[in-house]
Amino acid sequence: MAAWCLVNGTPAQGPERPLGMEGGGNLDPQSVAKMPGEMDKPLISHHLVDSNYSLAEVPSEAPKVGILGSGDFAHSLATRLVGSGFCVLVGSRNPKRTAGLFPAAAQVTSQEEAVACPEVILVAMFREHYSSLCSLRDQLTGKILVDVSNPTEQEHLQYHQSNAEYLASLFPTSTVVKAFNVISAWTMQSGPRDGNRQVPICSNHPEAKHTISLMARSMGFTPVDMGSLASAREVEAMPLRLLPDWKVPALLALGLFVFFYAYNFTRDVLQPYVQENKNKFYKLPVSVVNTSLPCVAFVLLSLVYLPGVLAAALQLQRGTKYRRFPDWLDHWLQHRKQIGLLSFFCAALHVLYSLCLPLRRSHRYDLVNLAVKQVLANNSHLWVEEEVWRMEIYISLGLLAFGTLSLLAVTSLPSIANSLNWKEFSFVQPSQQRGVSARTTVSSCDHTGPHCILLSRSPLWASWRWC
């Protein structure tokens, strides 16, 4: 049995640390959720356990959280909450059947018992079953109900009221908070990783929102305040979106690839066939693809830098930088990161394809044919100095260019970009510090320096925003 427990910051027991609980290790002892009415109790700041942790070992002062439902998400929530030092009560319609599935530290009981003590109840059920909880309305009065549900696409279109607002309408005497729906059961259980730490939270009650924010933080997530419960519909739509920012850049890359593929096919395959009756159709899967990829990469890379130049030219022409850009330019500026990463993707594919070229049988036949020709010509030493140098330099420059592009791509990862300061970032992505995006019109600013320039530093190919 492994447990590592810090009570008031003091290690209480042995050092084993279960896999997947790293998020809990980031806890700031001061930021752990304190439930209402528990503000003066000793703080359990850090509590990592494995699934064999028994209930008896959860300190009695641990903040209590109830979970209604015993499905996949309830199980992940319970595991994560137990690992973060909470005392968890799971309310099931059939506790005997489901008890064995939960960590031993979580108490699986009836729905009535699970909601009796805790001030915070996580409703891990589907919308259509919310009404089955109405019998608990009196017990839930004054408590915080956290709606973690995600509608299906069809439900999202069908209902104009979000799941959270629906829950609030069923329980008008409780406080409803929307949270955790964007986190998958797997992430919830294994702990937050880079990039998916953010938990949008909304509610009409700031105090309840604050409580759930602290709870999310103590579970290793980063709460994002989304305002009132009216935003719940937007929050529920988040998991339904499929790469929304990538649609236009991906279509652009595809369009460019089709164009260059058609051009290279006509030039390298069709033209020799028509004019010289040479069959070079074997080039379609590798050679033509490989010739098209760098063209796409180059054009995409130029499209990353072009809007910054256009924006600067527009500002020069207008004589001011404090006016909005046209919508098309603004969208273009905002999609530079995606376009840049697609450029990197095409360049990486080109490198791989190029490395595989000598593996092709056609290449081996070409080499053998060349050797035979040399023997027939009685030429024992083929060495064209210029060709040799040309190829050496070509490969070296290609690799250097790819290395530079990789650096741009790596520094565009949020975790790395966030660890760089302004000077470091502008050193790596120099031309981008002057990239301009001006959805922002700023009225109260002296516009004198970088402090007014940097509104958002989303990575990369640089969505640095200037006012």
Ligand X SMILES: NC(=O)C1=CN([C@@H]2O[C@H](COP(=O)(O)OP(=O)(O)OC[C@H]3O[C@@H](n4cnc5c(N)ncnc54)[C@H](OP(=O)(O)O)[C@@H]3O)[C@@H](O)[C@H]2O)C=CC1
Count CB neighbours of 373 within 10 A.
11
Residue pair 39/92 in contact (Cβ under 8 Å)? The answer is no
**Minimum CB–partner distance for residue 395 and Fe ion (Å):** 9
Q: Are 257 and 296 in contact (CB under 8 A)?
A: yes
Smallest distance from the beta carbon of 60 to ligand X, in angstroms? 26
Within positions 70 to 89, which residues make up the interface with Fe ion, using CB under 5 A?
none
User: Smallest distance from the beta carbon of 414 to Fe ion, in angstroms?
Assistant: 30
Smaller CB distance to ligand X: residue 185 or 348? 185
Cβ closest to ligand X, residue 184 vs residue 406: 184
Bridge partner residues of 6 (DSSP): 11, 46
Closer by beta carbon to Fe ion, 249 or else 294: 294
Give which of Fe ion, ligand X, none residue 120 binds (C-beta under 5 to 8 Å, depending on kind): none
CB of 163 to ligand X, least distance (A): 7
- Which residues of this chain interact with ligand X, rule CB under 6 A? 69-74, 92-94, 98, 124-126, 129, 132, 148-150, 181, 184-185
Which residue type does 197 have? R
Could you say which of Fe ion, ligand X, none residue 411 binds, taking C-beta under 5 to 8 angstroms by partner kind? none
Nearest-approach distance from CB 386 to Fe ion, in angstroms = 19
In the list ligand X, Fe ion, none, the entry touching 437 (Cβ below 5 to 8 angstroms by class) is none
Mark 256-295 with x for binding to Fe ion (rule: CB under 5 A) and - for no binding. --------------------------------------x-
Q: Distance between CA atoms of 306 and 303, rounded to whole angstroms?
A: 5
Residue 46: strand pairing partners: 6
Nearer to ligand X among residue 124 and residue 436 (C-beta)? 124
Q: State in angstroms the smallest separation of the CB of 187 from ligand X.
A: 8
Q: Identify what 266 binds: ligand X, Fe ion, none; CB under 5 to 8 Å per kind.
A: none
Q: Show the tokens assigned to 193.
A: 């990783």
Token match 């329980």: residue? 171
How many residues form the binding site for Fe ion (CB under 5 A)? 1
Which of Fe ion, ligand X, none interacts with 132 (beta carbon under 5 to 8 A by kind)?
ligand X
Of 67 and 351, which CB lies nearer to ligand X in the complex structure?
Answer: 67
Cα distance between residue 202 and residue 152, in whole Å? 20
Residue 159 burial (10 A CB sphere; 0-12, 13-18, 19+): middle
For the record, the structure tokens of 124 come out as 């891990």
* Min CB(383)–Fe ion separation in Å: 23
**Of 261, 266, 101, 80, residue with least CA distance to 186:** 80
- Whether the CB-CB separation of 219 and 198 falls below 8 Å is answered with no
Residue number, 218 or 292, with CB nearest to Fe ion? 292
> What is the pattern of x (binds Fe ion, CB under 5 A) and - over residues 292-311?
--x-----------------
3 state DSSP class of 324? coil
Q: Which residue has the tokens 């937050």?
A: 192
Report in angstroms how near the CB of residue 118 gets to ligand X at its nearest: 17
Name the amino acid, one letter, at 389.
W
Q: Which does 92 bind (CB under 5 to 8 A by kind): Fe ion, ligand X, none?
A: ligand X
Binding partner of residue 267 among ligand X, Fe ion, none, CB cut-off 5 to 8 Å per kind: none
> Residue 259 touches which of Fe ion, ligand X, none (CB < 5 to 8 A by kind)?
none
In the bound complex, what is the minimum distance in angstroms from residue 166's beta carbon to ligand X? 12
Which of Fe ion, ligand X, none does 73 bind, CB closer than 5 to 8 A by kind? ligand X
Q: What is the DSSP letter of 407?
A: H
Residue 295: which of Fe ion, ligand X, none does it interact with, CB under 5 to 8 A by kind?
none
Q: Which two tokens mark 389?
A: 């140098």
DSSP string, 346-384: HHHHHHHHHHHGGGSHHHHHHHHHHHHHHHHTT------
CA distances from 399 to 299, 403, 412 (A): 18, 6, 20
| The token pair that represents 407 in the structure block | 């650096």
Q: Are 23 and 218 in contact (CB under 8 A)?
A: no
How far is 166 from 374, CA to CA, in rounded Å? 82
Question: Which residue number, 66 or 294, has a Cβ lying nearer to Fe ion?
Answer: 294
- Cβ-contact 102, 108 below 8 angstroms: yes
- Nearest distance in Å: CB 151, ligand X: 7
Question: What residues make contact with Fe ion under the rule CB under 5 A?
Answer: 294
